[in-house]
Amino acid sequence: MINISPEAGVTARDPRYDILFEPVDLGPVRARNRFFQVPHCNGMGYRDPTAQAAMRQVKAEGGWAVVCTEQVEIHPSSDITPFIELRLWDDGDLPALARIAEAIHAGGALAGIELAHNGMNSPNLSTREPPLGPAHLPIVTWANDPVQARMMSASDIADLRRWHRLAVRRALAAGYDVVYVYSGHNLSVLHHFLSRRYNQRTDSYGGSVANRARLLAEILEDTREECAGRAAVACRLTVDEGIGQAGITPEDAAEVISLLDHLPDLWDLVLGSWELDSATSRFAAEGEREPLMAGLKRLSAKPVVGVGRFTSPDTMVRQVRAGILDMIGAARPSIADPFLPAKIEAGRLDDIRECIGCNICISGDMTMSPIRCTQNPTMGEEWRRGWHPERIRPKESDASVLIVGAGPAGLEAARALGQRGYPVVLTEATRELGGRVSREADLPGLAAWRRVADYRLGQLRHYRNVDIYRESEITPEDALGYGFTDILVATGARWRADGVGRWHTSPIPVAEDANVLTPDDLLAGDHPLSRPGTAPRRILVFDDDHYYLGGVLAELLARAGHETRLVTPAPLVSSWTAHTLEIGDVQRRVREAGITVDVNRALTAIGTGGEARTACVFTGSESRVRADVVLLVTARLPRDDLFLALEERRDEWPARGVRSVTCIGDAWAPSTIAGAVWSGRRYAEEFDAPGPPSRDRGYRREYTALGPLP
Ligand SMILES: Cc1cc2nc3c(=O)[nH]c(=O)nc-3n(C[C@H](O)[C@H](O)[C@H](O)COP(=O)(O)O)c2cc1C
Ligand code: SF4
């Protein structure tokens, strides 16, 4: 079934992992093994259903026994616009849902659907329905929409049960084998009813755990009755909201499981806010919730699936053998490597592309754009561009490629071109391979990011057609003279030292005696300021980048003992990490590290004698700050000197046998690591392809079906 690469030999499965491939009965249906792709949204939803179908099919081919949709809105009063999820509001939604189920079946897996009424999490911006919840309270959305939920009356509850039943019927008609009742993540009305935080009712739906779980019990009963043995009923349940007695506690969850164990065919146990459940590797380790799960599993006679960014088969086996989980749930590991089960089955553990826990995948959903993954550049491109995480077409010419720069873009291009069978030489100016990934992986909490380089270097060992040269600075003359038909420049970017970024688009005044650093100085290795025990200095970090690096470097410096102040024009530190669900953890972490935080302020000048000036971004009023050192985390400039020099010598290319010179990754336009990996993959995918590059022709997409004009 798997066709990873021509060179990769398929070996037998290690008997230690046999237990992971045992079938599991989920009520009336049988899962072929213990690998369960739990529900995850993808920014495609109702807008890009065929792209989603293809993405899910690839996972089914990759060996997951159950492949689920994301949360599916069951009714117009559960409209979570602007987020783009699947919908099952009426029969008009059935074709899209059926296509996804068919694709999952075609890949050999059971199809699961997560029916969701989002209750107080539905602003209903599109439908304009008043939101519903257990109490008259403001709704709980990231945007703090100025809307309140109305306290559901007896007839609202009856309506909700009817809508859910209809959704179950439609899910069955669409061909799903596992139907979820969703009570998780503070994103479901059933969670809102269960949580003391929102449920202060005095009727039979409020008060005791049994009362707060009454609506969940009723919906489970209804779902069971509708499924009538045709599909398994799964219940996704929050087992800890992370706010102690104010919300759902593990004790509450234990009581719910004991009370309702006769109703679902499967429990899917999660932590209570999405942020907690999908914590990044910077803030939570793989499988950290094991003790909690172990206790809850003992209370149930039904199979239990749980999550924890599982990528190690040994950890998975331990979960099953120790009676913690029956099925290994995965969202992110299945995104980073849709073929994770197939690789374990084939004994090809070295080929697993391990999730790095960065949550770029979640940023797709949060920005309403198709899912992307740092490790797996084909994620979301399966149908749009026809990319596959394991397969790529073989070489189509006698071309040979020189790649300059072994960062994430160069490594992925080399790996994918190597897989295609082209002769490739990959050169790197320094001793270390991996570029920014290897450097940043040394920063606090980012060690797992090294996997981006490790995976690719591991794969490159399979390819005898790829040679790697370290400590090789390439001049334009070298590049043109080595005899390659194609030259790829992936030389990365450098941080600016003049204050230019989002806030200042021209340089700020910097005194000659000022001590100014950029992230490159700290990332270059063992910088004296980052070593604990060095003389403490007053350091001002100006973060106008707004992703993780400003916050991480401030933390590094504060932990090394420096008096650290972070100044940012944004209202929160590392404000873009709202899209990776880390923003709360970041604010806590910088404060715990003792960092002084000045938000809504810009650095305006770096003066002499350790004096800097900052200004309020709204009023412009200035303050003076003492700073021995200023670290500027603002913007980057491409390291594109080699590319530009080669472009200058374009006339010479034909005579030197060169047909193309291309620049990718940060050297073309600085972006995320995910962007760099993707650009490397795109180069390899489009190399020798007939027709114009995709930049000129776009990609496959679906068009809105027009209704009749009135
Ligand atoms: C991109 C993404 C989207 C998610 N969307 C959903 C969703 O629609 N419904 C849901 O119940 N959980 C959702 N989750 C949570 C996952 O199902 C899972 O519980 C969590 O990520 C922890 O598992 P993991 O460590 O295997 O990723 C999502 C997670 C990710 C990464
Ligand atoms: S984007 Fe990051 S967290 Fe998400 S699956 Fe890929 S590697 Fe894992």
| 381 Cβ neighbours under 8 A, 6+ residues apart | 387, 699
Q: Is 232 exposed, middle or buried (0-12, 13-18, 19+ CB in 10 A)?
A: buried
**pLDDT of 5 higher than 50:** no
**pLDDT of 296 higher than 80:** yes
Q: What is the b/e burial string over 95-129, where b = at least 16 CB atoms within 10 angstroms of the residue's CB?
A: ebbbbbbebbbebbbbbbbbbbbbbbbbbbeebee
> Residue range 428-442: average pLDDT?
97
Percent of the chain with pLDDT over 90: 93
**pLDDT of 169 higher than 80:** yes
**Would you state the structure tokens that stand for residue 180, as one six-digit string?**
């979820």
CA distance 218 to 421: 58
Q: Is 361 in the pocket of ligand 2 (CB under 6 A)?
A: yes
Q: What is the CA radius of gyration of the chain?
A: 27
Amino acid 200: pLDDT: 94
CB-defined site of ligand 1, < 6 Å: 38-41, 70-71, 114, 184-185, 236, 270, 277-278, 307-309, 330-333, 361-362, 365
Do the Cβ atoms of 22 and 33 come closer than 8 Å? Answer: yes
* Ligand 2, pocket-test mutation among 58, 373, 378, 437, most atoms within 8 A of CB: 373
Q: Quick one: which H or E segment has residue 218?
A: helix 214-227
The per-residue pLDDT for range 511-533, each reduced to its tens digit, is: 999 999 999 999 998 788 988 78
> Residue range 118-141: average pLDDT?
97
**pLDDT of 553 higher than 70:** yes
**CA-CA-CA-CA torsion for 374, 377, 379, 384, nearest 10 degrees?**
140
* Closest listed residue to residue 643, CA positions, set 666, 667, 677: 667
Amino acid 528: pLDDT: 85
Do the Cβ atoms of 96 and 143 come closer than 8 Å? Answer: no
Q: Is 356 in the pocket of ligand 2 (CB under 6 A)?
A: yes
Active-site residues, by number, are 41, 182, 185, 277
DSSP-based three-state secondary structure for 381 = coil
Atom number in ligand 2 closest to CA 359: 3
Q: How confident is the model at residue 252 (pLDDT cuts 50, 70, 90)?
A: very high
DSSP-based three-state secondary structure for 258 = helix
Query: Mean of the per-residue pLDDT values for the chain?
Result: 96
* pTM above threshold 0.95: yes
> What type of residue sits at position 553?
L
Residue 512 CA, ligand 2 centroid: distance in Å? 43
Do the Cβ atoms of 43 and 429 come closer than 8 Å? Answer: no
**pLDDT of 3 higher than 70:** no
DSSP state of 510: B
> Residue range 547-569: average pLDDT?
97
Amino acid 7: pLDDT: 43
Task: Give Cα separations from 628 to 76, 513, 539, 596, 608 (angstroms).
Answer: 57, 11, 6, 15, 10
* Ligand 1, pocket-test mutation among 267, 277, 282, 379, most atoms within 8 A of CB: 277
* DSSP strand pairing (596-599 vs 601-606): unpaired
Give me the count of residues in the chain: 710
